[in-house]
Homo-oligomer: A and B are copies of this chain.
C-alpha cells in the first residue's frame, strides 16, 4: 500500500469503518468490523484504532479524521454539537482533537437543533451531508436508518432536520411484540414485494391508524395464516410510509429529495418514494458520502498552514 495522506473513520454505536486515503481521496486500504462503541470502550479506543492501522501498515505520522458516536459523551472524546442552522464547511474547522493520542486524531462534531418544540440531534449524518453540499446541493436529503434523518439544506447549511425512529421501531415490533410470532423466520424484505408497497400506501392514506395496523398484522396471522414474509414486508412498508407522511408534515413537499442510503434500505426507500409519488429523487451511496465527507474534512483540517496541500 502507498503511504496514505490520512485515514478516515466512521465509528458508530455498532460499526467501525476505516479507509486509508491518498491526497485525492482515493482508497488505498480499508478495514471494517462490528467493533462499535460498546465493544471498543472496554479495549480502549486508541488500542482498537492502532490495531487496525498496524494491520494496514499505516505509519504513526498519518493523521486520522473521525465522525459518528465516537464523538459522543460515551465515546473516545466528546465533540460538542454545533447548533443548527450551521454551514457544513464549518465542521472541519470545529473538529475536536483527541489529546495525547499517538497520532493526530480529530473528531467531527454532530449537530444539535435547539428548537424548544423540536429538539433534535445528529452525529455522523452531517458528514455525509458535507459531501453533498460540497457539490452545491440544496434542498432535502433523507438518510434512512435506525433513526432516519430528513434534512433541509440551504446554501451549504443544515437549516433544520427531523429524526424518525423508524428502524428502531421496526426491530422492536418484529422481535419484542405480539407481532413477533407472525413474522418469525421471514427472510429480509424485498422492495418489490406487493405487501411492502401496500403497507406504504396504507400508512400514507391513514398514518394515524398505525397502532391499529400493527395489531392487524397479528390478527391476520391468527385468523388467516398470513405468511411471515408478507407480514414482515407489510410491517416495513407501514413504518416507512409513516415516516414519509411525517416528513411531509415537517418539511413540506418532498420532490427532489436526495436519498443517501446503502444496501437494502436504498431499494426499500426508493420503492416507498415511488409509491408516495415523490418526484425527482436521486440516490447517493451512504458509504461513499461518509468517506467523501470525512476526506473533505481531513483535507481542510490537516492541510499545512500555507494551504499547499490543496
Q: Which residues of A contact B (CB under 8 A)?
A: 81, 112-114, 116, 118-121, 147, 162-166, 168-169, 172, 176-178, 206-212, 214-216, 219-220, 222-224, 239, 242-243, 245-246, 248-250
Contacts and interface: CB of A to CB of B under 8 A. Distances in A.
A118 B176 contact: no
Contacts of A250: 209, 212
Nearest to A243: B211
Given A172-B172, A215-B120, A223-B119, A210 B209 contact: no
A159 to B, nearest CB: 16
Contacts of A224: 114, 116, 119
A210 B120 contact: no
A176 B147 CA distance: 15
A165 B223 contact: no
Contacts of A207: 207-208
Given A163-B212, A207-B208, A220-B119, A168 B172 contact: no
Contacts of A163: 212, 215-216, 219
Q: Which of A116, A172, A211, A219 has the most CB of B within 10 A?
A: A211
Closest 3 CB pairs of A and B: A207-B208, A208-B245, A164-B211
A209 B114 contact: no
Contact of A120 (B162, B211, B219): B219
* Copies of this chain: 2
A208 B248 CA distance: 9
A219 B168 contact: no
A216 B246 contact: no
Nearest to A113: B219
B165 A214 contact: yes
A169 to B, nearest CB: 7
Given A119-B219, A169-B214, 19 more contacts: A81-B223, A118-B216, A119-B222, A119-B224, A162-B212, A164-B215, A165-B211, A165-B214, A168-B177, A172-B176, A206-B249, A207-B208, A208-B208, A208-B246, A209-B246, A210-B242, A210-B246, A211-B239, A211-B246
Nearest to A120: B219
Chain B CB count within 10 A is highest, among A214, A215, A245, A250, for A215
B121 A209 contact: no
A223 B162 contact: no
Nearest to A224: B119
A211 B178 contact: no
Contacts of A177: 165, 168-169, 172
Contacts of A219: 112-113, 119-121, 163
A72 B166 CA distance: 32
Contacts of A162: 209, 212
B168 A209 contact: no
Contacts of A164: 211-212, 215
